[in-house]
Amino acid sequence: MIWYSSSVYSFPNFKNHKSQKGSFLAASPFITNKTLQNAVIVILECNESIVSAVKINQTKLKQEEYCSYPMYDGGLSDHKKILLLHSGDKKLANTNQLTEDIFVTDMDETTQFYPKKYYAVPGCMSWMYEDFMKEVKNSEWIPVMGSSKLVFDTPIIKRWHEAYRSCGIRPELIQREYAIN
């Protein structure tokens, strides 16, 4: 058995908000928000008031006529904007680097931009910083080793388990450790 405590898998640098951009987190088996069960997210922005992220392991959405990208349910729907996680072989003026080899570009449905590898979502999820940190302290998110291979090459259905495997964790063996106050 693996005893999980939020102090074991803590976010020692979360006070340094800018360093969290590009961090990957996997939903723990204890997450209370059922829509986020088995989710793997990548942090897009983290500051004193807000945390925004994209789910990288959700189902493909129905292809919309206006959009030429296969779209995945990565956050809140915003049919006027598309977030494209992609490889660095092509960039636009508003492309931002998340990790060494993962970039994000905010576009509208008329933009013609096709990097070699990409994952498109209609918008992102956001939390108030305090609410997100409460979820972290309640052992609902576990930091994992993310990579471009996880985002672009691993089948969607395997990403949650692969994210845990990257840290040597078998999620089915995790039990929550309750602190006695």
CATH number at residue 44: 3.40.1740.10
- Tell me whether residue 158 is in a domain: yes
Helical segments of the chain, H only: 129-137, 148, 159-165
- Tell me whether residue 180 is in a domain: no
- Tell me whether residue 21 is in a domain: yes
User: Could you report the per-residue pLDDT of 71-101, keeping only the tens digit for each?
Assistant: 666 555 444 578 889 999 999 888 999 999 9
- Tell me whether residue 112 is in a domain: yes
Look at residue 63 in the predicted model and tell me its pLDDT: 61
Q: By residue range, what is the domain housing residue 145?
A: 2-170
- Model pTM score: 0.81
User: Could you report the per-residue pLDDT of 37-77, keeping only the tens digit for each?
Assistant: 899 999 998 998 999 999 998 777 666 654 666 666 655 54
**Residue 117 in this model has a pLDDT that exceeds 90:** yes
- Residue 155 buriedness (CB in 10 A; 0-12 / 13-18 / 19+): exposed
**What letters, b where the CB count within 10 A reaches 16 and e where it falls short, cover 83-117?**
bbbbbbeeeeeebeebbebbbbbbbeeeeeeebeb
CB atoms within 10 A of CB 36: 17
- Tell me whether residue 178 is in a domain: no
**Residue 164 in this model has a pLDDT that exceeds 50:** yes
For the chain, the domain total comes to 1
Contact between 39 and 164 (Cβ < 8 Å): no
- Tell me whether residue 82 is in a domain: yes
Look at residue 19 in the predicted model and tell me its pLDDT: 66
- Tell me whether residue 35 is in a domain: yes
Look at residue 25 in the predicted model and tell me its pLDDT: 94
Residues, the chain, total? 181
Distance CA 38, CA 20 (A): 21
First to last CA, the chain: 24
Helical segments of 34-141, H only: 129-137
